């Protein structure tokens, strides 16, 4: 069984982080959100096995993408 982990893959709040690395905020799950998270909340390091967080700014469900594997 092989799992493909590609830079640019999108993940949602609550999913398990597949690989430790740097992840970038893509958007809120709710397209009507007017929240604009600050830069430091848009690029975060996450460790394999933890859950993807909500938006660091408004705590709403969000979409993250893998930028760089550590
Ligand atoms: Zn937000």
Per domain, the residue ranges of the chain are 10-32+39-69
pLDDT of residue 3: 60
- What's the CA-to-centroid distance between 69 and ligand 1, angstroms? 24
- What's the CA-to-centroid distance between 70 and ligand 1, angstroms? 25
Q: How far is the CA of 48 from the CAs of 17, 22, 31, 45, in angstroms? A: 5, 11, 27, 10
Tens-digit pLDDT profile for residues 6-65? 888 899 999 999 999 999 999 999 999 999 999 999 999 999 999 999 999 999 999 999
Residue 40, helix vs strand vs coil: helix
Q: Near ion ligand 1, which residues have CB within 5 Å?
A: 35, 55, 57-58
Give the span between the Cα atoms of 68 and 28, in whole angstroms.
21
Match 């959100």 to its residue by tokens. 33
Give the span between the Cα atoms of 70 and 62, in whole angstroms.
22
- What's the CA-to-centroid distance between 1 and ligand 1, angstroms? 36
Are 54 and 15 in contact by the 8 Å Cβ rule? The answer is no
Given a cut of 70, whether residue 1 has pLDDT beyond it is no
pLDDT of residue 5: 81
């Amino acid at each position: 069984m092989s799992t493909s982990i590609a830079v640019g893959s999108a993940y949602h709040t609550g999913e398990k982080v597949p690989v430790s690395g740097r992840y970038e905020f893509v958007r809120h799950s709710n397209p009507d959100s007017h929240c604009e998270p600050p830069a430091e909340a848009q690029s975060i390091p996450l460790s394999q096995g933890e859950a993807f967080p909500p938006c660091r700014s408004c705590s709403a469900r969000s979409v993250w993408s893998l930028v760089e594997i550590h």
